[in-house]
Amino acid sequence: MPVLLDLRGAKSSDVEIGTSPISELQACLHSLAEPDHHLEYRSWLMKTDESLSPDLRHRLTQFAPLWARRRCRLLLPLSGPLDASVDTEIERISQLSEREFVEAAAYSIHGGAFDPRQAVSRPDEFVAACEARSFSRGEAARLLIRDPEEFRTALVRTLADCVEEFFAAEWERLHDRLRDEAEQTRSRLRGLPLAELISSVSMAAQPVQGGRAVRFDKLQNLTVSLRGNRTLLVPTIHGRPHLVIRGEEGFPVVVHYPVAWHSRPESIDEMQRRLTILSDPARLALCRHLVNEAITTSDLARRMSMTRPQVSRHLAKLRAAGVLTSQRSGRYVYHRVDVDTLMRIGVELLRAIVR
């Protein structure tokens, strides 16, 4: 179930690359609502959560359906140009028509397969559908339908309070890194065909159909035409490992892509290969011996009641998976499991799954 960007008729001049503070704020709010998806930011998440005022924490819980599962279109760039201030981007929410606001909010509040126009045409059915999904979604849906302008005012105030309590400082810390990433992507645009440029922002993307489309490996079944549409490429740090692609009618297409880690994220195929190696019962048993102390091949063979060649073949597999270190001391070579690498496999698996 891929996301396909149809490039037929699209022009490079319609692609804008830049930063969006409101998008990064939404990424922060998502990670606060779903901390288990963002293990590398655990320290920042705990510190930020503890610093929130009780009133803001309560309101973030109320509004969490907007960003917990499906990122809200309201909190991505609603128009160009990019590199605007967070205050300008928040103000754009206030400038939407009531219908545009309700439909954009309803789509994320429901969080499933749903035509957001029904929130306006059949509001009772929309509320019931949200209640069936969860209590919090039902509560948010009721508040939205009962008084859309009150809901909007409360949301805008909550976003402004987030900026004041924690995001202004975080954006100051991240802005230069995101700006540099956007500038690097702009430089690639000058030398690459459009399909290669767009696919270059993510390991999950590749040009297809002879460069007439870009395919993203996502758990969505979505095709978005870029013909006549403005397309915004927006880098994120707090959003990683998630790649967010939105193409609602009436708004620019947005590709909110994670800035690369210092090391290249592993693909699903690479992760599956490593897990297959580690799942072998004999190799798991070897790891149990090697995790506590460094051991020679001969000693492992004796402990495991195996021949030296058998042990050597298993050790070679563990080395190929990147979890074995070997060090010579005199006549002997001692092997040991690299615990840090083994722990990182869990984080890499999570990145690959939730991307």
Question: What would the pLDDT profile of 91-129 be if each residue is shown by its tens digit?
Answer: 999 999 999 999 999 999 998 888 889 999 999 999 999
Residues near 321 by beta carbon (within 8 Å), at least 6 away in sequence: 273, 274, 277, 278
pLDDT of 67 = 95
In a domain, 56, yes or no: yes
pLDDT of 262 = 47
Q: What is the dihedral of CA 337, 329, 317, 301, to 10 degrees?
A: -90
Strands 295-296, 332-337: pairing kind: antiparallel
232 and 304 share one domain:
no
**Could you read off the pLDDT of 236-291 as tens digits, one per residue?**
999 988 889 999 989 999 999 998 754 455 667 777 888 888 889 999 889 888 88
Helix, strand, or coil (residue 66): helix
254 and 321 share one domain:
no
Q: Provide the token pair at 146.
A: 């009962």
184 and 224 share one domain:
yes
202 and 220 share one domain:
yes
DSSP annotation string for 169-182 = HHHHHHHHHHHHHH
Q: What is the DSSP code (8-state) at residue 322?
A: T
206, 234, 258: which is the final residue of a domain? Answer: 258
In a domain, 77, yes or no: yes
Adjacent-strand bridge partners of 329: 332
254 and 272 share one domain:
no
247 and 274 share one domain:
no
Domain count along the chain: 2
CATH classification of the domain holding 310: 1.10.10.10
In a domain, 263, yes or no: no
In a domain, 158, yes or no: yes
Helix (H), strand (E) at residue 257: strand 253-258
336 and 283 share one domain:
yes
Residues near 4 by beta carbon (within 8 Å), at least 6 away in sequence: 208, 213, 214, 215, 216, 222, 223, 224
177 and 45 share one domain:
yes
Q: In terms of residue numbers, what domain contains 341? A: 268-354
Question: Is 54 exposed, middle or buried (CB count within 10 Å of its CB: 0-12, 13-18, 19+)?
Answer: exposed
Closest CA to 216 of 188, 189, 247, 192: 247
258, 276, 310: which is the final residue of a domain? Answer: 258
229, 258, 287: which is the final residue of a domain? Answer: 258
pTM for the structure as a whole: 0.76
236 and 98 share one domain:
yes
